[in-house]
Amino acid sequence: GAGVSQSPSNKVTEKGKDVELRCDPISGHTALYWYRQRLGQGLEFLIYFQGNSAPDKSGLPSDRFSAERTGESVSTLTIQRTQQEDSAVYLCASSRTSYTGELFFGEGSRLTVL
C-alpha cells in the first residue's frame, strides 16, 4: 500500500537485548517522526528527521536509543540493552513537509521486554 509501513508489528525480547524497529514512510515525504506510546498514555516525542538529518533528537530517553534515516526514506530506531520500561508501541509518522500539519502514522511496532 501507499501508507507508512512499520516492522516488526510485534516484538518480544529479553531484557538486555538490542532491537531494531523499521519505518518506511510514504514516498516523497521529507519529514519523519518517531513517537513512543506506553499503554494508556499519550504520544511521547522521540526524534524528528528532515531529509536524512535529525534536527531534533531531544526526546530520545537515553543514550541506549538511536535512530538514523537513509536515502530520505527508510528510518531505523535502535534500542540497545533493552529494559522493561522500554515496553511500548513505537509509532512512526511521515509528512510531506515539516509544517503541513498532517502526520501519516504507521500502525506501530509493539515492543514487549520481558
The binder of another protein chosen from 7, 64, 66, 103 (CB under 8 A): 103
Q: CA 26 to CA 18: how far, in whole Å?
A: 27
Task: For residue 89, give the amino acid letter.
Answer: V
Contact with another protein (CB under 8 A) among 23, 106, 109, 113: 106
95 in Cβ contact with 31 (< 8 Å): yes
CB of 60 to another protein, least distance (A): 13
Instruction: Tell me the three cell numbers of residue 93.
Output: 509518522
CA dist., res. 1 & res. 98, Å (int): 23
By beta-carbon proximity to another protein, the closer residue of 3 and 16 is: 3
Task: Please identify, among the stretches 13-21, 60-68, 80-88, 103-111, the one whose residues bind another protein according to the rule CB under 8 A.
Answer: 103-111
Q: How many CA atoms lie within 13 A of 5 on its CB side?
A: 7
Q: Which residues bind another protein (CB under 8 A)?
A: 31, 33, 35, 41-43, 45, 48, 50, 55-56, 58, 91, 93, 98-99, 101-103, 105-108
